Structure 1
Amino acid sequence: MNNSDREWMYDRLLEDGFINSRFIDGVESFVEFAKSHPECMDGEKLRCPFNHRKCQNKNILDEFTVMTHLGNNGFVPNYYRWHHHGESYVPGPSVFGNHQEEASASGETLNSQSHNEFQAMVFYIAGPSFDGNIEEDPNSTAQNIYNLIKASEQEIWSKNPHGHTQLSVVARLLNLKAKHHFSERLYDELCEFISELMPTDNIMIDSFYSTKKLMRELGLPVKKIDCCKNDCTLYWRKDSELVNCKFCSHPRFKRSKHQCSKKKTNISYKMYYFPLAPHLQRLYASDATAKHMRWHYEHERDGVIRHPSDSPAWK
């Protein structure tokens, strides 16, 4: 899509002060396009590209309000590519030359996740009631959201061809780390090397520690719980003080490799526990997933078995 095809976006008023009919038709086509990409919406609501600090693709509103806002003041500047509403970035000239053309010809996707998906994720975390424009000092929870929004909006360097942001780069690196079993040391050195390849004004994350600090703000905690090596028991609550498994008697703590070391370190076997409540809260926070969570309660039975829950045996 060339910018010239969307000149109507910034040709809102006629000389007599009335709204240009071409602009009205364009806004309607924009809304229809946005609605055709529910992954970028919050239920029935969409991001408002109204040119005001309270909106600018941050505020989530209903269709009628968005159209009214655009009719009043128009679009945020230079929003020719609707990447907040489902349109992917078109990469510009690549520093990799013909390799990009070869990858495209072979069907490979160089940027399978545009950064607007990460922005949508952050706003799902915040919820539709989040107001990013309250002029007061935020509490710690709100500040975490502000940090994530900033990371999802800031390009890793200005006008990079794939539109990557700090959050999208971090997410991709973490995915690669899990897939290929990077060590933390390798992750740190990779971050340093990538930063050296970028222009000097880049905001590349500098280490795995900084990555964890940023991603912790997503609000999906993990707990480490001491456990028996043979998975017999958990050392918590009334068993939290045990030093041997009460079923198989295996020692709770690992043997130190340095028996002569004066420093005694008790390193136990651990399991990772993902608390259920925050995950359920996240699913209910988004209108897009909340309707699926409520399905069994709201499902109307008409005497025909269309789902196992329609069967008397389900009860």
Structure 2
Amino acid sequence: MNRDYWMYKASRFSELYIEGVRTFIRVAEANRTSKGNESISWPCNLCKNFKTFNCTGEIKYHLLENDFVPNYTCWSRHGETLLDCGTTSSNININNSTYNNDSYVDEDDHHSNDNFNGMFDDIETNMGDVEQEKLQRLFEEVDSGSKFMKLDVVLRFINLKSKNGWSDKSFTSLLEVLHDILPEDNKLPISTYQAKKLMCQMGMEVERIHACPNNCMLYIKEFKNKHNCIFCGASRYKRKKDSDEVDDDVTKNGPPAKMLWYLPIIPRLKRLFSNEKEAMLLCWHSEERVIDRKLRHVADSPQWRNIDKKYPEFGKEMRNIQFGLSSDGINPFGNISSRHSMWPVLLCIYNLPPWLL
């Protein structure tokens, strides 16, 4: 039985929906028993999985009255994983018109609350038990009984800030005014720093790698404990005198002379594939692309076909990812005079539909 249909398209009073609710209650009870929990998260559109209760008799009533929380076809808060709920392209019944340029933007504008819940479910599915407990405690701490959750409100404000190009200073001023207008016991952040610190717990880590000030090497792998560049001998640290003593622990010798900020690729790809809609978009080049010998997409190019021929096993896998690398100012041979110290290097996913590239 397709969950996307009976949970969100069938009538709440139909036998199909009621039987589906009974199935959910059995799954939730089995998960509570196996983990030894006393309460169950309620996935109705009112409680949104943020509140837990001991009485399971009320769950059916809540789901009949309020529907399920949007985008909760994988019951991750009740013991399931993506493999358990069978999330594949064969059982996803979504109109292809959803993925045109306009509707994709409109969804981002008008359904931020749905995106918030979907993002939370995606995060939790890829977390270990320790990380899930931390995130659950975060939701328990911020739940003040209000109609809106603190994380939901902050997410909406952050989206507005990004969309309209607000500066950090203006955003802080807005939060301060709102904090003064709201009741005294409100928990709204009063600065951009506090808002970002709250949101970063739902994001992915960024690796900071020390680099040689002359761009000779990175201090990673077998070189992570080196104090000087093995090529030019420059110090790894910002120091007034190179002759100063250094501690064996590289974290105790002051700030690095130069640093590389690296956003790991694999966790981000896992996050994309954990979401049904995003996974469909990443497989568009294999499942939805029109193959008629016309150059409509990057996948129609001779270079793409050459890669598939050279690596046939890679080409047969529809979930393969092909990147385009671009940078503003790469100087591989060091023969360009420049005083810039920051060169952004970007990866573009070529598998996406043309309107998203």
TM-score (norm. length: structure 2): 0.44
* RCO comparison, higher one (Cα < 8 Å, 6+): 1
